[in-house]
Chains A and B, each alone.
Chain A
């Protein structure tokens, strides 16, 4: 009998532990997309690392290109801020809010292009253009979702 009560209690505890664990997991999972959505610009550290791999950069090129991309991210974020885009608010941008955004982004992209041209080979530059086009599509998708 005592064994049975003990077994029930431990099973009950297990159930409580399981519930607490499940709740913690659910909470963690619900916070992950919020954390990922802090920046809509597709130049997070992990994304930059992917681009660096795709560009097949040597040891001299790597720090230069990484710093160009990081500066582009900072500039891009300040442009978004100027336009009142706040992905953390969970609100979609207004219908006409983003109309001049690309024009301002273009100046950053032109600067970045001019800078990477000094460092990359023609083959790498072609890959950079592909990365830029993919990034632009991803930015649009993140801004409008």
Chain B
């Protein structure tokens, strides 16, 4: 009886130790829950019902090439040299083991973005009824939150 209890305790402690080592070895990159991410938007495409999607310059769509996803404050904020401090509210944030899924809306627009928690790659859509902008980029933890 005592032997069985000891064996159970040993197994329990072993499992706990393995779990603790696992947690300790998790890469720190996307470990923190509410850590803000800084994302560079690499490419933008404009899609309309009349024509195939085409690449557009970020300056032509008044979009900053750098944005910060601040999950704690529930905002996306522009962080480029000449375009800083413009914000968009994050209405929803779902965190899966692999992705951050965020979405929101403003006057006449709905948007969503998926950021891989492993690779940092990002895709986003900004939909304004007659035009859909598709954005591609990469995110990393923000060093100076």
Contact = CB atoms under 8 A, between A and B. Distances in A.
User: Do A and B come together as binding partners?
Assistant: yes
Contacts of B128: 99-100
Interface residues of B, number: 25
Interface stretch (A26-34, A87-95, A124-132): A87-95
B60 A102 contact: yes
Interface in B50-72: 59-64, 67
A96 B85 contact: no
A93 B86 contact: yes
A140 B107 contact: no
Contacts of A97: 86, 106-107, 109
A20 interface: no
B62 A98 contact: yes
Contacts of B106: 94, 96-97
14 contacts: A92-B85, A94-B107, A95-B67, A95-B76, A95-B87, A96-B106, A96-B111, A97-B106, A97-B107, A99-B63, A99-B133, A143-B62, A144-B83, A144-B86
Interface of A: 84, 92-103, 140-141, 143-144
Given A94-B106, A99-B131, A100-B128, 9 more contacts: A93-B62, A93-B86, A94-B88, A95-B76, A95-B86, A97-B107, A97-B109, A99-B62, A100-B130
